[in-house]
Structure 1
Amino acid sequence: MPTDARIREIAPRLTFQSHRVPTEVKVELVRRLVDAGLRTFELSSFVRPDLIPGLADAEDVFARVPRVSGLGLGCCVGNTRGLMRAVDSGADTASFLLSADEDFARANIGRSTTDSLAELERMAAYASDHDIVLGTYVIFAWGGPTGPARGGADLERLAGRLLDIGVDHWILADSSGYAAPPQIRELVGAALNHIPAENLTVQIHDARGMGLAALLPLLDLGVRNIDTTLAGSGGHPAMPGSQGGGVCTEDAVQLLELSGVRTGIDLPRLIDTANWLATEVGAPCKGFVRHTGLVPRGETAGRLAFSW
């Protein structure tokens, strides 16, 4: 089925880095999501287990998830050793954990942003000789976790360096939920001055209730790669007690489909999986549509047409 937006599900990484469950539960989650039509995942992180113990089973998860046609499996990596593990595990893509916030950079992977860029350069050299696409996060791209907002000028300081290194696939993460639509447009517009839209993914966290509002402006800008989190779940060991969930996948899919944007995802199955995650797994979850139900569709609903 053709799609207008590529939803990448990141709950297998974002949720389970702070909510520890057995490997078989992670594999079952991916199986259910594949049945619902999702094909692109951030499956885990290859990082130091003492920093992120909940993802110490990354190799096992990659080995056990069901392989289907069109499946794309990504991961996070913090250094060259992690990238080597990702290659050995068969990851299609790996995203370096580069933080725009110095304090979080040290808490997350134990080094400064400047040192991280030096490590990324070494990783790019390794990736060029192996069958994997190396990209980078820009965590807290819009600001946070406690500092002021950031904008396009702040991104410029990183953009040139990233391109010099040879990394032109970026994930801009509003990790603290700072951005309303005008801020989304400004920073994404700045990124698109450097890389094509197909190389850009945007990941919005919903800590301040503005997450869904960001989605349609992204499509206006030509960005089709969107990260979401089932049931709005997620968190981070370096930020205990914070609202660390991404934009809720099932809420995002309903908004997009009602706006005439095809996702290729079976929403009722997705909602069933979100409820399974919340009840049987016990992960902290948010979201609306799984509680209130789908918007009823009339005969004319399928005839609405939008061009994005």
Structure 2
Amino acid sequence: MSLPDGVRIREIAPRLTFQDHTVPTDVKIELVRRLIDAGVRGFELSSFVRPDLVPGLADAAEVFARVPRVPALSLGCCVGNARGLARAVDAGADTAHFLLSADEEFAHANIGRSTADSLRELERMAAYAANEDILLGTYVIFAWGGPTGPARTGEDLQPLARRLLDIGVEHWILADSSGYAAPPQIRELISAALTHIPPGNLTVQIHDGRGMGLAALLPLLELGVRAIDTSLAGSGGHPAMPGAQGGGLCTEDAVQMLELCGVDTGIDLPRLIETANWLTGEVGVAGKGFVRRTGRVPGTARPGDPLAFTW
């Protein structure tokens, strides 16, 4: 199996963690600063949504204003409607992704409207974004199924994919929000998505609610996906799913696995581990993952070294 030279890890903890745990703005800025020092250059920094629904992200504009800028930095956010998109533009976000749910029940619980109504809102937003200096994409959350519904297949994705292309939205984040997907399901749905958009337009957000998150990495690489969303210390959750396993795949575990496969992320793993342990102390939760507890594998391969195994 041939693996790519590099992968861009986008860190989503600044949004995913703090929509579930309210902390001072200074803590958020410190988290991003530490991650930048560790080599992270892609962030989902916050969400421009109603503060009464997600109070932990009410400071989104301030966070965007205060994070340090360095070369090659990309700052993204989530938006739920045209008003949120306008706020993201004013804040200087590079990218904004609409919160589109493939699950009807969750769509109503999260933003109070159907998937069809959400697509009409996205169409209005795309017309607005065409005249602004921002890239508008869309999430497809629960792309593989959930939170209570059955698993979804590549065939299930097709009508939604065609509608997105009709709207003119060609950058997608497919999120396995409930952690339903083992490698065969990853391959099937991603292969279906790639019949509509090129690999460079696709990000996959891995969640680890059922312990299969790391297993998703290699099939993504095989299929040419180079943009992967993860969350430091597996942290995070969702206000519409209290008590659920809502965190992302641990960034530090993903980086170690990619390093061992000879895939470069540009991220300093020891600094990442230190930051993950700092974050869990700041939010007061145990966090998930392995490498931050056990330490990295001694004598691990450097990016670019030959693979130590065959397929």
Which category describes the TM-score, using the shorter chain as reference length?
A: over 0.9
Q: Distance in 2 between matches of 1:45 and 1:126?
A: 18
Deviation at 1:280, TM superposition (A): 3.2
Instruction: Say which SS state the counterpart of residue 89 (structure 2) adopts.
Output: helix
How far off is 1:289 after superposition? 0.2
User: Quick one: structure 1 residues 298 and 153, their matched pair in 2 at CA, closer, same or farther if it must change by over 3 Å?
Assistant: closer
- Measured against aligned partners, the alpha-carbon deviations of 1:90-142 in whole angstroms (never above 9, x if no partner) come to 00000000000111111212211010000000000000000000000000000
1:164 aligned to which of 158, 163, 166 = 166
Which amino acid counterpart does residue 76 of structure 2 have in structure 1?
G
Residue equivalent to 2:113? 111
1:233–1:284 Cα contact (<8 Å) kept: no
- How far apart, in 2, do the equivalents of 1:286 and 1:225 lie? 22
Please tell me whether the aligned partners of residues 229 and 247 of structure 1 are also in contact (alpha carbons under 8 angstroms).
yes
| Equivalence for 1:20 | 22
1:301, CA displacement in angstroms? 8.8
Query: How many residue pairs end up in the alignment?
Result: 306
In the alignment, what sits opposite 1:275? 277
Q: Structure 1, residues 190-243: CA drift from partner, whole Å, max 9, x if none?
A: 000000000000001100000000001000000000000000001011100011
SS at match of 1:164: helix
Equivalent residue runs for 1:152-191 within 5 Å:
152-191=154-193
2:91 to 89, 97, 102: 89
Deviation, 1:304, is 1.9
What residue in structure 1 maps to residue 131 of structure 2? 129
Deviating runs (4+, > 3 A) in structure 1? 298-303
Say if 2:264 and 2:303, in contact at 8 Å, map to a contact too: no
Give the TM-score normalised by structure 1.
Answer: 0.96
| Percent identity (aligned) | 78
The yes-or-no answer on 1:213 pairing with 2:215 is yes
User: What's the C-alpha RMSD, in Å, of the aligned pairs?
Assistant: 1.7
1:267 partner letter? L
Distance 1:61 1:267, change over 3 A: same
Q: Deviations over 1:162-193 (max 9, x none)?
A: 00000000000000000000000000000000
Cα distance between partner residues in 1 of 2:11 and 2:217? 15
**1:19–1:283 CA contact under 8 A, matched in 2:** no
* Aligned with 1:34 (options 32, 36, 46): 36
Does 2:51 match 1:73?
no
Residue 300 of structure 1 deviates from its aligned partner by: 9.1
Separation in 1, partners of 2:301, 2:45: 38
Q: Partner of 1:194 in structure 2?
A: 196
Superposed, which structure 2 residues align to 1:231-242 within 5 Å? 231-242=233-244
AA at the equivalent of 2:291: V
SS at match of 1:21: coil
AA aligned to 2:23 is V
Q: How far apart are residue 160 of structure 1 and its match?
A: 0.6
* 1:281 Cα deviation after fit: 3.2
